[in-house]
Structure 1
Amino acid sequence: MTGRSFAEFFKRVQHVTELRNQSDLARELGVGRAAVSLAKKKESIPARWILEIAGRYNVDPGWLETGRGQAKPTPHTTTHEPEPMVDDFARIPKVRARLCAGGGSFETEGRVEGYYAFRADWVRRKGDPRAMVLMQVVGNSMEPELQDGDMVLIDQSKTDVYAGGIYAVGVEDTVLVKRIEKLPGQLVLHSDNTDYSPIRLSGDELLNVRIIGKVLWISREYH
């Protein structure tokens, strides 16, 4: 039986990891125990939790979220059957979650919408293909570098912050895309669009911040 309750989600986490209780889950995600308790109470699992666990343990985020399909699908068992690929290509999942670059609401589902093929040698030079995911940008705060509707490739294994890099970052239940500056006791989220002021986080605010991964590549459609 499929389900999106916290209890069913956590059973799936236990099935594919060595995490045995909610304290283990909180430590793995770098969040407070209270954040896990709140997610359980609300029966709402933040998309970044799904994406992080899926990336670290090489499991399908759609399965982790809903229980449908296989934990580690093969090209023959995945519920999102891609076109056959030769060995020179790696399949990177595109998830329904959106990166917020500005105001307004956005989707946070970790469900896989499909797969895109990248040259395996290219993505290996960039990072860990098993930890990569594609997400769509919503909003204009990162223009002109990133525009509304762009699709970006994120490596969730790259969480160390380097000056000038663009990162997907979770702030509570919000998933943002920003340039990040690390200062003593403070994290500053910068927008390329000068209409947006920097977001400065410090103290207890940092407890609800998680660097999801570094943006490696963008794709843009022209109309």
Structure 2
Amino acid sequence: MTEIDTQETGNRFDEAFERIKKSTGMRTQVEIAKLLDIRQSSISDAKRRQSIPDSWLIKLYQIYNLNPNWIIDGESPQFLGEQRGGALSVRDAGDVYGRKPKHYQAPVCAMSLSPQSQGGWTETPVETVTVPEQFHRPSLLVVRMDESDMEPLIGRGALVGIDKERKTIRSGGLYALDMPVEGLVIKRLLHDAENGRFLLRSDNPAFMDQTIAADAVVERVIGRVAWVFQEI
């Protein structure tokens, strides 16, 4: 997927950006950057290129149901609803203006072991991120991926949301585990019943499988991966 080029029909970045601000209730570039989970400099870069990145359009649709064509060209309808019965329904603007979607500030923890760690990995916040209501939950843990072992599914630098209440292991699922020396790792757990163990598999074939005894894996599991935020 490539960025939508607005140069073909003239300089409309400012108009598109104004539509984003008005429809989200945000007033400044700082607020928009937090909402989109991007650096403020990314907005300046997009303005210089006169191009609205697809990743912005996708996130604005996911949070507000904003029509990408409306953002770019002002083309109606402004809001798109969920697809039901094979037809795309239009969402009433009052649904958004009557109840503005909530956002939560969540700490982002490092995956590496803290120098003060005595008995394993501990939650050590290093930054914060704005999380839309539908992705937030009381049991949420957010980390920033610091390795490339789960690429291409989860790239280095991606934000990963982990549900700490979901510890029931399903073979093939993605889980965060507290591993000695390594700290927190994210792996695909595969049950090897014949040998009484679990395989810790990376999606990146350059990394070899690890193993852990079946009776020891439960105490290592922090939670199951619920979502991933990253550039595409």
TM range (shorter): 0.3 to 0.5
Could you tell me the TM-score, scaled by structure 1's length? 0.47
Using CA pairs under 8 Å that are at least 6 residues apart, name the structure with larger relative contact order, 1 or 2: 1
Could you tell me the TM-score, scaled by structure 2's length? 0.46
Structure whose CA Rg is larger: 2
